[in-house]
Amino acid sequence: MTLRKESTYTLANGVKIPVIGLGTWQAEDGDVAEKAVLSALQAGYRHIDTATRYENEGSIGRAIKASGIPREEIFVTTKVWNDAHTYEDAKMKLTASLKDLGLDYVDLYLIHWPNPASAREFWQTRNQDVWRFLEDAYEEGKIRAIGVSNFHERHLDSLLETARIKPMVNQIYLSPSDMQEEVVACNEKHGILTQAYSPFGTGTLLDVPELKNIGDKYGKSPAQIALRWSLQKGFNPLPKSVTASRIRDNIDLFDFELTVDDVAIIDGLKGSAKMAHNPDEILH
C-alpha cells in the first residue's frame, strides 16, 4: 500500500491502528512525558503507547486532554504489568490505568511479559487467567483490541489452549539489528500484527554507517531510515523520544521509499546493536 502519515493497519477484529506510534518507555512522568505526547499529537501522531510499568499514564492522559483532539481519533495502548497474576489482579490494573489516563476505554491492552519472575512456576495459568479478563473487558467495550508483548511461539501456543479470542497484536523488541524472524513468522501465521518497540536497537543502531549512507541518498537521518524499513516490512514501529524536533522527524517518513537493494543492506545489519532479552530469563 502507499503509506501516508494517516495510514493504518487493520487488526484481526477490524479495528484500525495507525502505522506508527509514539513509544513512551522511559519518558519521565510529569512535564517531560506530557510535553512529549503533546508534541507528538501536534505533529500528527495518533497512536500513543504506554504501560502501567512506565508510571506515566497520568501525564499521557493530561496531554491527550490538552491536545483538544477528539478521543476517538487517538489510539491509546497500555499494558498489564507482571505483578498481575489473576483475573482479579488484571481487572484492578485496568481500572487503575483508565483512572490514571482519564479515559473510559483504551484502544489496545497487552500482557506486558509472558513469563515474569514472580510467576515463573505458573506462567501458563497466569497468562490464561489474565487473558480471560482481557477477553471479558474487550467484550464489555473497555478495550477495543487485545494482545500480548514479548511473547514467543511457546507462550502463544500455551495461551491459545484456552483463549476464546486470539491476540490481535504482539509487541516485541524489533529492529534491523534483531528481526526476531521466528516470532514474526508465528505472528503472521496467527494473523497477529507485529509491533516494534525499540526500533533503533535502544539507540545503538543509529551509529551504524550503512544507515547513514542510505540516509544521505534521501536526505534522511539513520532513525528515519530504520523506521521506513520497519514500515516497508509491515511492522508497526513505536519510536520513543521526548525531544520535539526528533518526534517530528520520526513521523516524516512518507515522502520517500527504500529500494529493494536498500532493504537488503538493512536486513544485513543483524547483530549490529543490542539484542532482545529472552522472556523466560527476565528478572522482573
Beta strands across the sheet bearing 22-23: 22-23, 47-49, 75-80, 108-111, 146-149, 169-173, 193-197, 236-238
d(CA 225, CA 103): 34
The string of DSSP codes covering the chain is ----TT-EEE-TTS-EEES--EE-TT--TTHHHHHHHHHHHHHT--EEE--GGGT-HHHHHHHHHHH---GGG-EEEEEE-TT--SHHHHHHHHHHHHHHHT-S-BSEEEES-SS-GGGTTSHHHHHHHHHHHHHHHHHHTSBS-EEEES--HHHHHHHHTT-SS--SEEEEE-BTTB--HHHHHHHHHTT-EEEEESTTTTTGGGG-HHHHHHHHHHT--HHHHHHHHHHHTT-EEE-B---HHHHHHTT--SS----HHHHHHHHTTTTSSPPPPPTTS---
Q: What is the pLDDT of residues 18-48, one digit of tens each?
A: 999 999 998 887 899 999 999 999 999 999 9
What are the residue ranges spanned by the domains of the chain? 8-203+235-255
pLDDT of residue 273: 77
Q: Which of 4-13, 45-54, 232-241, 264-273 has the lowest mean pLDDT?
A: 264-273
Rounded distance between C-alpha atoms, residue 183 and residue 173, angstroms: 10
Is 47 within 8 Å of 21 (Cβ atoms)? Answer: yes
- pTM of this prediction? 0.97
Encode pLDDT of 163-209 as tens digits. 999 999 999 999 999 999 999 999 999 999 999 999 999 888 999 99
Per DSSP, the residues of 216-258 read: HHHT--HHHHHHHHHHHTT-EEE-B---HHHHHHTT--SS---
* pLDDT at 109 > cutoff 90: yes
Q: Are 187 and 181 in contact (CB under 8 A)?
A: no
pLDDT for res 1? 65
pLDDT at 204: 85
- Second-level CATH architecture of 8-203+235-255: Alpha-Beta Barrel (3.20)
Over residues 221-234, the mean pLDDT reads 98
Stretch 119-126: mean pLDDT, rounded?
Answer: 98
The pLDDT, as a whole number, for residue 202 is: 83
> Catalytic site residues?
54
The owner of cell 525531544 is: 243
Q: What is the four-CA torsion angle of 64, 109, 115, 85, rounded to 10 degrees? A: 100
- Tens of pLDDT, residue by residue over 68-103, are 999 999 999 999 999 999 999 999 999 999 999 999
